[in-house]
Amino acid sequence: MYTKINEKVIKGKNTYVVILFLYTLFISVLMCNFAVFIFGNLLSLMVLKTIDLLYFENRVSMYRLATCSWMIGMAVCIIIYYCYLITNGEPYLMSDDFVFDEYWSNLCINNSYYTVGQMVQNREFANHNSVGYVLLIAYLKRASKYIGGYHTLIPRILNITLLNISALISVRIAKICWEVTEVEEKNIFKWITLFPNCIYLCSHVYRDMLVTFLVVLVFYLWLGFRKRNILQKSIIIAITLLIINIMYYIREFGVLIILIITFLNFLDFNRKTYSKNHTTSKRIMKYICCMIIFIGICVLFNNKFRYILHEMYGYSVRWSTIYNQGSRFYKVLGSISDNLIISTLMKCVYYIFTPMNGQLFNPFRWTSFLDLIVSIITIGTFATFYLLPYVIKRLVRLDNVAIAFLAIYVGTAATTTGFRHILLCYPFFFMLGVVGKYNVAEVVRDDNRIAISLSICAFVFIYYVIRVGGSIWL
């Protein structure tokens, strides 16, 4: 019986390996680049290998789902690539993606930099906020030189792959924390990998997907940390220290998130994983020890934490200038947003409606296929509203995933105004939303669906009123 099941799994995997092989071959022919074929094959196979490593019971169906999601992600990526090529003359949004891919990485290669230490000695890199990601792009370019030449699609293939692997790890996290069903597993995976804004952000040369992957990976590694043996704990700590070192040079804020996540999972707020022979007094003593360790870390990184707090205040002031550039109605909002706490609360609300573009409501003004893609992203934002009540309900439980989501969400709101940084929250948001949805009765789900649909209609109406009449208010 076991042999038959094993043969079915192997046969199913081989089928999808062939499909991915032919698909990446087609992409490489389309792009006229052999390196795209090599990287595409290797990275797509990593997705299938991750399914094996995470011990999924329904591996054949997960192979199919992962293959389809990876192919869809790459298809959207190529469409966006050509849209930018037609619209901007370059396959970039012409923001950070262009600078990372065309300027910084070339500067790194031209100066023969192979380590971060060499890069920071250069004045131009000394104050750069992501030398680690620049070095990664540089290494991708160096490797591609020997297999057909570099193509800007390669880091985007990496992003799509990391998105799928992060989704698989998120499914495994949900399985460990809540013992979810197969239906819930697939829904979590679909939400993360097929969510329009996730795919859109992965279709650029941005560092955000790499940051998200590292955070999700650390969260998974530290689940049930106290139950592991000494060797396993040592390996996890060593991997975490390596990830912290990498994260520091990619995005400094991610280091703080990783420290919070390791601290949370060490304490283990998942009630079902508490050991019965642990008395309350023992738990309290452990928590006190952990707090002392955490405070010690904060003291060691005192200057860095001061810098982060300074940046948070800087972003709050910058947020007020966004409003002050608009009409008098928005200037009133800007005048009350200089306070750090108020600014953070405002941005927490702002991120619920982000990204959103008014072009969705005025299709007659679309000038390119890119406008359609932006409108689909806005529809994706509206789709998250249907999960919002279930996310809020799960947050009340304050388990590991809920607290991690709150820390990431509030931290992101406090330290940035860019919509692409919200990508870090999506895996945790969709885990909470899908699990919360399937833990309520079907009747309640139907009621919520109707209420949210009516709320969206009301929101669209209010948007039109503000858009038309906002310029004459106040």
pLDDT tens readout for residues 103-148: 878 888 888 888 888 887 877 777 777 888 988 999 999 999 889 8
Which pLDDT does position 276 carry in this prediction? 45
Kindly state whether residue 138 falls inside one of the protein's structural domains: yes
Distance CA 201, CA 187 (A): 21
Which pLDDT does position 274 carry in this prediction? 46
- Residue 327, pLDDT > 80, answer no
CB 168 within 8 A of CB 51: yes
The continuous run of DSSP H or E covering 189 comes out as helix 182-194
Same domain, 98 and 184: yes
Total Cβ atoms within 10 A of residue 445: 15
Nearest to 252 by CA among 316, 306, 173: 306
- Residue 74, pLDDT > 90, answer yes
Same domain, 116 and 28: yes
Kindly state whether residue 417 falls inside one of the protein's structural domains: yes
- Tens digits of residue pLDDT in 166-200: 999 999 999 988 888 889 999 999 999 999 999 99
Which amino acid, one-letter code, is at 278?
A: H
Q: Which DSSP string corresponds to 109-174?
A: HHTT--SHHHHHTSHHHHT-S-HHHHHHHHHHHHHHTTTT---THHHHHHHHHHHHHHHHHHHHHH
Distance CA 157, CA 23 (A): 13
Same domain, 376 and 439: yes
Which DSSP category does 95 fall into? S
Q: Which DSSP string corresponds to 9-50?
A: HHHHHHHHHHHHHHHHHHHHHHHT-HHHHHHHHHHHHHHHHH
Kindly state whether residue 428 falls inside one of the protein's structural domains: yes
Weakest-pLDDT range from 16-25, 47-56, 266-275, 392-401? 266-275
Kindly state whether residue 181 falls inside one of the protein's structural domains: yes
Tell me which residue range forms the domain holding 312. 302-472
Which pLDDT does position 283 carry in this prediction? 53
Quote the strand ranges of 250-305, DSSP E: none
Structurally, how many domains does the chain consist of?
2
Quote the strand ranges of 270-332, DSSP E: none
Query: Which of 171 and 299 is assigned the larger pLDDT?
Result: 171
Weakest-pLDDT range from 62-71, 221-230, 360-369? 360-369
Same domain, 313 and 420: yes
Same domain, 246 and 102: yes
Total Cβ atoms within 10 A of residue 73: 23
Which pLDDT does position 90 carry in this prediction? 85
* % of residues, the chain, pLDDT over 70: 77
- Residue 363, pLDDT > 70, answer no
- Residue 165, pLDDT > 90, answer yes
- Res. 89 pLDDT band, cuts 50 70 90: confident
CB 198 within 8 A of CB 192: yes
Q: Is the dihedral of CA 407, 409, 414, 418 positive or negative?
A: positive
Kindly state whether residue 10 falls inside one of the protein's structural domains: yes
Same domain, 395 and 259: no
Distance CA 425, CA 404 (A): 9
- Res. 336 pLDDT band, cuts 50 70 90: very low
Nearest to 80 by CA among 372, 295, 279: 372
CA 206 and chain centroid, separation: 11
Greatest mean pLDDT among 85-89, 91-95, 327-331, 456-460 lies in 85-89
Which pLDDT does position 31 carry in this prediction? 92
Kindly state whether residue 286 falls inside one of the protein's structural domains: no
Which pLDDT does position 317 carry in this prediction? 46
